[in-house]
Amino acid sequence: MTKVLEGKVAIVTGSSRGIGRTIAEHLVDLGAKVVINYVSSSDQADDTVKTIQSKGGEAVAVQADLTKMDELERLFSETISSFGKLDILINNAGLMNNKPLLEVTEADFFRAFAVNTKATYFACQQAMKHMEEGGHIINMSTSVVGQMFPTYSVYAGAKGAVEQITRQLAKEFAPKNISINAIAPGPTDTELFRVGKSEEQIQGLRNMVGYGRLGTPEDTAKVISLLVNDDAQWITGQTIRSNGGFI
């Protein structure tokens, strides 16, 4: 694999498992040094770091709850302390909350926006302070924003805000030649995706995908690798619906 990210430093939030871990490992395969961010899954984060190091890559794990400003700021300061700079930010950490409108509590609402929206916004703020010129930011959205699914109103609302934040920040980052885009995957076959879903529901979602299969974490990681390549610098302020024809 060509090391197109040789010498680059990346933060991947929420990367101790699932899609985030796959993204981090893929960036390392392309030559980047990676910061593995986690909230509570220390064993999984350590395992991710050890796996990367066993392949000759460089990674460190940093615990930080990104809904807390002091911990979010510490994630960036520890990145600079460990690797001296920051070139790539992948805002992957997120929370899915599926409830009918009448069951959504105020706590549900604020938690969803804190994890999905607030953390992404203020991580972008830290990137503005610390990121090298010519850097890349990827914010994670969801193709559910383009659908009308019952029980997804809070989750889709929080991710829809992420897409607008991405658009509006594009011209603020442009003077530093930093691209900022959002990725909106469709149904992706992870452990968390299957929680609370019957096989019938999963098959129904599979049938909605043009290719007739669920996405994989690798599908998302490959699209991200295209957008953080310097050849893609001209793409900014966009939401890429990486979903195999889901919508």
Domain residue ranges of the chain, discontinuous segments joined by +: 9-235
Residue 195 pLDDT greater than 90, yes or no: no
3-state secondary structure of 6: coil
Residues 38-58 have a mean pLDDT of 97
Phi, psi of 181 (to 5 degrees): -140, 165
Give residues with Cβ within 8 angstroms of 68, minimum separation 6: none
In angstroms, how far is the first alpha carbon of the chain from the final one?
Answer: 31
Find, among 52, 59, 57, 84, the residue nearest to 3 by Cα. 57
Domain spanning 9-235: CATH 3.40.50.300:
no
The string of pLDDT tens digits covering residues 127-160 is: 999 999 999 999 999 999 999 999 999 999 999 9
Residues 119-132 have a mean pLDDT of 98
Residue 197 pLDDT greater than 90, yes or no: no
Q: How confident is the model at residue 21 (pLDDT cuts 50, 70, 90)?
A: very high
The string of pLDDT tens digits covering residues 217-242 is: 999 999 999 999 999 999 999 999 99
Question: If residue 239 lies in a helix (H) or strand (E), which one and from where to where?
Answer: strand 239-240
Report the catalytic residues.
155
Determine the pLDDT at residue 51. 97
Residues 174-195 have a mean pLDDT of 93
Look up residue 211 and give its two tokens.
């290719």
The string of pLDDT tens digits covering residues 86-110 is: 999 999 999 998 899 999 999 999 9
